[in-house]
Every structure is written in structure tokens, then in C-alpha cells.
Amino acid sequence: MKLNYEKLSKKYLNLFENKDRCDFVLTDVLFAFEELYNTISDPRINSIIEIGSGTGILLNELSDVFPKKNFFGLDPHESGFHYYENIKKKLPQKNNLKFKKAHLKDLPHSDKYDLIFSFNVFEHVENQLNFIKDSYKLLRDDGKKIIFFPNYDFPYEPHFVIPLIINKSITFRLFKNKINNHEKNTNEIGLWKGLNFNGRRKIKKMLTNERIRFEFDNSIKEKIFERIVNDPSKYFKKRQNFVSKLALLSKKLYLDKFIFNFLKIPFPYLKLIISKK
């Protein structure tokens, strides 16, 4: 199932300062909803928590489509995303949707969920191992945690649309003005400082050492290409600018399979699924 962009835009546009800020959020809502729909449709999934719920719009839409399931949004609203809380407060009150302003570690481990998910939040977490372990404790037996996040094994930073040069410190020195201007223009002060540049290799090692059952959903590759082409808001393609153009060119010339399958170049985006058995 897919959400209708035009309807969403009419529904939420008045909550944002301008259309660009609205589309910035809605393009992710459209993609995340489609990615999560089949999982949440499973009758065994009844209690769902989004860690890093931001504006709350994704959960608001999911709770409309699944009125008999319980949704919970958790977000401390820090690191440049404070204004999201004001949008969340304007959403309608529902019996099957609750929000809490807090950190993950503040939740009691007696709370249990069938599904935990985070969308473009993991890269903002300082201690990713603790994040995984704390959320893992909140899973019911046979529960799942799904994490969508950039893969920094690929030398590209998608929030600022810049290449990664050697490490975070050197990259900042080279692109300081661009980074500072982006934070100022988007009112996301502290965004760069809060980014964690771990990639697939480190995450895989981390989970293996903890003996946590996991898999990377490689179908996300094709879905990202589809997103560039089919995103109805057109904002995702606009936001990634020349990178999206290069991606589409590589797809057209069949270079994507050569680059990511034959040469084994890391794909720049990941979908991680953690299972509790």
C-alpha cells in the first residue's frame, strides 16, 4: 500500500513554515510507510514503537490505516530537530497513538513491543551498541527491530550532500562553510556534530559480537533506485541533487550491478532487521 502525496500535502502543509520543509518530511513518510506496511499487516504485530518519531506524521498515518494496533512514538527532540516537537503537538489525539519525549534508556524494560523501528535516526545516535541493546530488551519474543540508515562505508554524507574525505574531522574542515550554512538554513544546528559515521562493517561486527540475530535486507538497493524515479514529491531527487542523477545514469547503463555486485562497492543505504528468538 502507498500513501497519496497530494492528500498528505494538503493535510500537513499548514504545519510547516514552507512547502520545502513539508516535502522534506513527507518524502521520508511516503517511503517508510511503504517499507513498513507489509510488516505491520502481520496479525502477530500489535504493539509498535518508533524510536525517533520526529514530527509524528508517519505514526499518525500508520495508526489511521491500522486502527486496531497500538502505536507509540519516542523522541528526545534534540540535535537540531527541536521544532519537530511543535508539529507533533498539533496532531489529533488518538486512543491507539501515544507519544513521549524521552530517551530510549528512560523506558522501563518491562514494556514490550512486537515491532520496533527507526527511520534515518540510527546515524544520529552517539552509542549505537547501547541503542541496539536497549531496544532489543524491549522486544517481545519473536519480535523484530527494523533500522533504516545511511551506510558510511560508502564515502558520502546524504544530509549535507558532500563526499566523506578520510574522516569526519577532515571532511568538516574541507566543507565547513557548506555544513554551517546548511544547519543555519534548515534550523538544524548541531546536526553535523551529532552524526555517527559507522557503516555496515562496524555494525555487522558489533551485532556478531553480541550474538544478536540480524540480517541486512538487500532489496533496499532496488527500492532506493525506485524512490529516486517515483517519489511523487520529487523532493528526494531534488535533495540529493547530482548524486541522484549519477545513480539514475548508472542504472540506465547497467553500471549499478557492476559497481555494487561485481566490484562489491558498499551501497550507501541500509535496512537492518534484528530478530529476537
pLDDT tens profile 16-69: 989 999 999 999 999 999 999 999 999 999 999 999 999 999 999 999 999 999
Asked which of 121-125, 165-169, 220-224, 250-254 is least confident by mean pLDDT, the reply is: 250-254
Residue 191 forms part of a structural domain? no
Non-local (6+) Cβ contacts of 43 within 8 A are: none
The 8-class DSSP code of residue 266 comes to P
Q: What is the CATH number of the domain that holds 137?
A: 3.40.50.150
The rounded distance, in Å, linking the Cα atoms of 272 and 216 is: 5
CB-based burial of residue 48 (10 Å sphere; 0-12 exposed, 13-18 middle, 19+ buried)?
A: buried
270 pairs with which residues across the strands? 149
Residue 201 forms part of a structural domain? yes
Range of the domain at 222: 5-163+196-275
Q: Band of the pLDDT at 169, cuts 50, 70, 90?
A: very high
Residue 179 forms part of a structural domain? no
Q: Band of the pLDDT at 238, cuts 50, 70, 90?
A: confident
Q: Which helix (H) or strand (E) holds 140?
A: strand 139-150
How many domains are there within the chain?
Answer: 1
> pTM (2 decimals)?
0.93
The rounded distance, in Å, linking the Cα atoms of 134 and 207 is: 13
Q: Band of the pLDDT at 262, cuts 50, 70, 90?
A: confident
Residue 242 forms part of a structural domain? yes
The separation between CA 198 and the C-alpha centre of its own chain, rounded to angstroms, equals 15
Residue 8 has pLDDT above 90, yes or no: yes
Residue 79 has pLDDT above 70, yes or no: no
Residue 42 forms part of a structural domain? yes
The C-alpha cell at 154 is 560508502
End-to-end alpha carbon distance in the chain:
28
Non-local (6+) Cβ contacts of 208 within 8 A are: none
pLDDT for 66 equals: 98
Residue 242 has pLDDT above 80, yes or no: no
